[in-house]
Structure 1
Amino acid sequence: MDNLDEQISRLDEQFNHLGLATNVSFVLSSLYLFPSPENKREYGVSIAVPRAVSLAVSAINLYTADQIEEAQAVYSQAIEAYPEEPFFYACRSLLNTALGDDEGAFYDYQVAKKLDFNYYSFMEWIEQREFEKEHLANSEHLSDLNALVHKEPANVSHLVNRALEKVYAFAYWGALDDYTLAISLNPTLAELYVYRAALQTRLLRYDDALFDYNKSIELDSTHFNAYIYRAKLYAAIREYDLALQDLYRAENLQSNEIPVFEERATIYQKIGNLAMAEQDFDRWISIAKEDFYPYTLRAELLEKMENWDGALADYDMAIHLNPYYSDLYQYRAQIKEKLGDKTGAQLDFQKFEELEQEG
């Protein structure tokens, strides 16, 4: 029986100072109790654990015993108790697939992705990894990279390039091995920890990812991307204060970078500070005037603020910059309806349908 006590104690020891040892999203992903063939074994815990962890253990133990429908029922129970936790939707999606319920699987996948977009990468990997050997065989550059690594085994750049190629082929575990080997060769290079952490994030190994982000910042406190990616991880588990702190640190390092404003505006929206979100969208647009996307996002924000004229102006600009994106006409039509422009709304709905048919 695999005992989770040691792993839970490690999480508590390493991350309690950040309050993450009680963060359900962080703990569930870090314990990695997903119902997959490699996790088929009996788990047990002897210490008091949160109910969410207890439910996850019960479900995977049922899965291990091939009691799939019973495990699915536990995940459904967990979803009722923790409707904001993407972990349980992802697990139920996997079991729905195993039971042939593609519609249920897709629904749960969509909810998990909406709650935490990293689950998109994880579920994509789950789907593609059965084709890993085929992906690797079709890689044009992998044999050349293997030869370079064989010729110069201490060359870190070769290992990093091979790891990236493996990521493209969904060979995530092999890529992790290459990053780990590269780190063993050059343990003071902060960038290597960021690379490995980004992949750990895709795999939802949030504790390992956070360890690597922290290590990279310890080695180089001016590493802009380490703060950005760590902020994204914090935001994924709804630790918004920690995420904002990192984004402000990143802004102090590089004051005019789009990722800061994009991530921070999203967080401010989620916590209900719409005025601050608008400020960050304004700054993003001031940098990327020719990009339709931030205009679309700011328009959505202005809708929430019931600033219909401002939203209309932003959709006008977004359509000017990207006139072939059909959804924009639908969004603008809805605003025109609110403003009483029925004719304009009808024309936009017609344009939306035309573009949809062409697509």
Structure 2
Amino acid sequence: MDRFQAMQVFTRVVDANSFTRAADSLGLPRTTVTTTIQGLESLLQVRLLNRTTRRLSVTPDGAAYYERCMRILAEVDETEALFRHVTRGPKGRLRIDVPPSIGRLIIIPKLCDFYSRYPDVELVIGMSDRPVDMVQEAVDCVVRVGELQDSSMVARRIGAFQIVTCAAPLYLQQHGEPGTIEDLQHHQAVHYFSSRTGRNMDWDFVVDGEVREVQVAGKVAVNDAEAYVACALQGFGLIQAARYMVLPHLESGELREVLPQWSPSTHPISVVYLHNRHLSPKVRAFVDWIAELFGNCPLLGGCSKDMAESECRFASHEKGNTMREIIDRTNTAEAIF
């Protein structure tokens, strides 16, 4: 039995909810489709489908096998796409997830440039700061700020946020301007809390080459970057924000930098993708494009060429997703049943 063809037939039957429609879409006789499913069930020694003359339904084992088949077939398609129509460039649907501020202020304004290079890519952009399950939500890659923890991902460092401490003139008129870090104990801050943990992000400053964390009181906490800046503009307190976000307000005088002699630590920015997705031409195209985009922007801590070209591997296994690995996963999927 051709196991890959059997997987294709099975998934098409499930998608079409019909042996006849699946046979028509695959250009096969209905008897071939029926025989293939029967052979697959015999091989796995489980029932994948319940069928009567009027109704077709997937068994629990069939549903689990379907999910694994879809992943394996998608990986086969991506592997073959590397060597097919190379001159045509990347093609297909690419789903990404980025922080809202990066999406609105950096990526969206440059989308015309992306599509001038890759007109056949269908880009689906999610904007959130919440943790994304890239497997369950079928996300190809994400852009994240801060140190990364997940050891199952591949991450490429593309830049860093330069952070500035600032406040509205109204706030400084009412509370005075801090002259030292110690003065912050008499001030109010607008806090930014993590959507993942619910805790406020720490304030810090780099003093004599070392990072010093500071506690600042506050009455308002938000988890949206635009709301964070808006609260500062209304005089609710000091903030530590990415300089690229507040630069227009600093230039207009709506916000004023304080304690400029002590800069907060920078926040690394990375584009992250699953270890078995990095071969996809469309993922590679987006990763290279956004790395170039950040590298050309001084406010985003444009990386050196060496850093931009290097990739940080959090997993210990080799790069690459070979056909041998796909076949091994096929055997594993079948062994479960």
TM-score, normalised by the number of residues in structure 1: 0.21
- Name the one with the larger strand percent: 2
Higher relative contact order (CA 8 A, sep 6+): 2
Higher helix share: 1
Q: TM-score, normalised to structure 2's length?
A: 0.22
| Higher radius of gyration, 1 or 2 | 2
